[in-house]
């Protein structure tokens, strides 16, 4: 197909796109310092959990964090944090909701009358909502914004990578045979869009028996080290299957999950930006 001239809907890495800066300005009342996308090449790997744990850990460490829930058709961030209040409109713009510890949250579920109402929108509408979440929301001063992405490499990741000043992405995966394909899809798209990759997080890495302490590889032996070596990306964290964390998410209290398992990723991300 020939070029339509509309780079916002094109994934080609051509010369004309390189000359254009499609990033949107922040809201006048926003000062977001770092934007980190949490991505994967497929669904069901726990991107929302990793997003929630990272935001909570950074918030606990004294940083002001925020979550832009870009998974428009499957938003789960408000549920994980127990955030139910609607979004307020003010002269400054839309005011994000806040979790119990002060994490600022923007999600389409906070705009719906019922949280279980389906979002049946086409790609261009969804992309427009992502753009509004960025430049029409008064985020205030934010040290780290985490963008919870939908699975795959479609319209939303393309919109986020083009329109938001993404400083880096964290790729989430699981210990299964298709792990290499999962990571490489996200890896290749990030490279195509010139977005830096901070590293990998392996979720559901193992289950530790509460009685004997033995670790069991429920989803097979991990291949994350092989992928890490092949792509030259660091492993930021290996998160276990944790029933306590799962229960806290169901209760809307993910902030109480603690930071032990995600601590290595927090330290690695901080070091990554210190060295930039």
Q: pLDDT tens across 102-128, in order? A: 999 999 999 887 777 777 778 889 899
Question: Which residues are within 8 A (CB) of 69 and not within 5 positions of it... i.e. 6 or more apart?
Answer: 75, 76, 77, 78, 105, 106, 107, 108, 109, 133, 148
Range of the domain at 190: 26-274
Q: If you search the block for the tokens 């979440």, which residue do you land on? A: 133
Q: Who contacts 41 (Cβ-Cβ below 8 Å, separation ≥6)? A: 151, 152, 153, 173, 181, 182, 183, 184, 185, 186
pTM: 0.90
| Total number of domains constituting the chain | 1
Q: What is the CATH number of the domain that holds 205?
A: 3.40.50.300
Q: Give the pLDDT of residue 179.
A: 73
Please write the tens of the pLDDT for every residue from 155-188.
Answer: 888 999 999 999 999 999 998 777 778 788 889 9
Q: Would 34 be classed as within a structural domain?
A: yes
Whether residue 33 lies inside any domain: the answer is yes
| pLDDT digits 0-9 by tens, 57-108 | 999 999 999 999 999 888 899 999 999 877 889 999 999 999 999 999 999 9
């Amino acid at each position: 197909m020939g070029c339509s001239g509309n780079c916002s809907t094109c994934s080609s890495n051509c010369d004309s796109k390189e000359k254009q800066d499609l990033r949107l300005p922040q809201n006048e009342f926003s000062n977001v310092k770092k934007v980190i996308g949490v991505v994967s090449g497929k669904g069901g790997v726990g991107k929302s959990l990793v997003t929630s744990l990272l935001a909570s850990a950074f918030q606990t460490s004294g940083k002001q964090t925020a979550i832009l829930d870009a998974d428009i058709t499957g938003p789960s961030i408000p549920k994980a944090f127990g955030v139910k209040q609607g979004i307020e409109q003010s002269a400054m713009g839309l005011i994000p909701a806040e979790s119990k510890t002060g994490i600022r949250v923007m999600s389409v579920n906070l705009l719906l009358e019922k949280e279980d109402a389906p979002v049946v929108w086409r790609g261009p509408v969804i992309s427009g909502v992502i753009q509004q979440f960025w430049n029409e929301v008064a985020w205030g001063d934010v040290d780290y914004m985490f963008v919870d992405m939908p699975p795959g490499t479609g319209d939303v990741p393309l919109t986020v990578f083009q329109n938001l000043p993404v400083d880096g992405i964290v790729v989430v995966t699981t210990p299964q045979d298709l792990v290499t394909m999962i990571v490489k899809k996200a890896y290749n798209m990030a490279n195509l869009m010139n977005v830096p990759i901070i590293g990998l997080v392996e979720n559901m890495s193992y289950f530790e028996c509460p009685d004997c302490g033995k670790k069991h590889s429920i989803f097979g032996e991990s291949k994350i080290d092989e992928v890490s070596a092949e792509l030259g990306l660091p492993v930021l964290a290996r998160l276990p299957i944790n029933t306590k964390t799962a229960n806290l998410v169901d209760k809307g209290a993910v902030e109480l999950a603690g930071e032990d398992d995600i601590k290595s990723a927090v330290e690695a991300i901080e070091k990554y930006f210190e060295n930039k």
